[in-house]
Amino acid sequence: MRGFVRAHSFGAVLGLLVGFGASFKEAGAAELSKSEEARVWKQGEISAMAEACGLDWQALSFQPMMAYWRRLGKSQKELALIAGYHGAAQGYTGKAGPCTDEMRRKLETQLPFKG
């Protein structure tokens, strides 16, 4: 299933990059390491949970995450890939169902994003 998710989300990310004006060849040049992919995907899942709990996922999760990757010197193409990958994970996870006390407690330890 992970391979399917990764392939499916990568296609969505390529579509997103093309929407930003990059060609497929340029989009393919932007790469993340497996550990970076895993971190971004996990943050997308956290954003989905935050959204389900009615929290400001953009201010608490997405924006600080993007600032972190900018500080590390990621290129515009890499940042677009990160944003798309995060969105794919968030969309794939979808609304994580009703917000439970357990979800809220978990989010308290994971938000705001610290890098």
> Are 30 and 74 contacting, i.e. CB atoms less than 8 angstroms apart?
no
* Residues sharing a CB contact under 8 Å with residue 72, sequence separation 6 or more, in sequence order: none
d(CA 90, CA 23): 24
Domain borders along the chain are: 2-110
User: pLDDT tens, 76-95?
Assistant: 999 999 999 999 999 888 76
pLDDT at 58: 96
Query: Cα 52–6–29 angle (5° rounding)?
Result: 115
DSSP state of 97: S
Nearest Cα neighbor of 115 from 81, 70, 60, 68 is 68
* Tens digit of pLDDT at every position of the chain (115 positions): 344 344 445 555 555 555 554 554 555 567 889 999 999 999 999 999 999 999 999 999 999 999 999 999 999 999 999 999 999 999 888 766 788 999 999 999 999 999 8
